Amino acid sequence: MIKQFVTEEACLRCQGCCRFSHQDSVWSPCLLEEEIQVLLDKNIPPACISLEKRIAPILESNGEGFICPFLNKESNKCAIYDFRPFECQLYPFLLNLRHNKVLLTVDLHCPYIKEKLNTPEFKEYVRHLALFLNSAKQKRTLKDNPQILAAYEEVLEIIELEGPDEIK
């Protein structure tokens, strides 16, 4: 598990993440190969996983937009929180692929990030993530799961990470 930056209280108040404007949104979390097997072993319906190795959002009950199939709208809690995917653990930080470089970015739509962006707490967490993501184990994970690197728009680039080809 990745140490969370956003507090649980802030997450539960927010109505932003886990909701998507369209079904094939780049914002829908990508799954690592081993996460797909864990979900299937936990009897998660295969229909919740897209062919692109993403969580497959479902149409909102009001017909406007899509929602993660694991989000309980009443409590705003995740039904698979204890074994949620890597990208969900990392969020609002994202791994962005731009010009063949792996960048750690952050989603500025997250209200908690907007509040904490220029704080020592934020800078310390970025250092923590950079060390974690630049470890040999994580670089191997990225190399084995290229689908986890996406081209997100409207994000703040924080730092360039060592590429997965630079495994030591």
What amino acid is encoded at 122 in this protein? F
Query: Distance between CA 56 and CA 86 in Å, rounded?
Result: 16
Query: Distance between CA 56 and CA 54 in Å, rounded?
Result: 6
Express each pLDDT in 97-106 by its tens digit.
Answer: 888 899 999 9
User: Taking phi first (over 0 means left), then psi (-120 to 50 degrees means alpha), and beta for anything else, what does residue 164 get?
Assistant: alpha
Express each pLDDT in 51-94 by its tens digit.
Answer: 999 999 999 988 889 999 999 988 999 999 989 999 999 999 99
Instruction: Please identify which residue in the block is written with the tokens 């360039």.
Output: 160
Express each pLDDT in 126-166 by its tens digit.
Answer: 999 999 999 999 999 999 999 999 888 889 999 999 866 65
Cis bond before residue 92 (omega within 30° of 0): yes
Measured CA angle at 39 (ends 93, 65), to 5 deg: 60
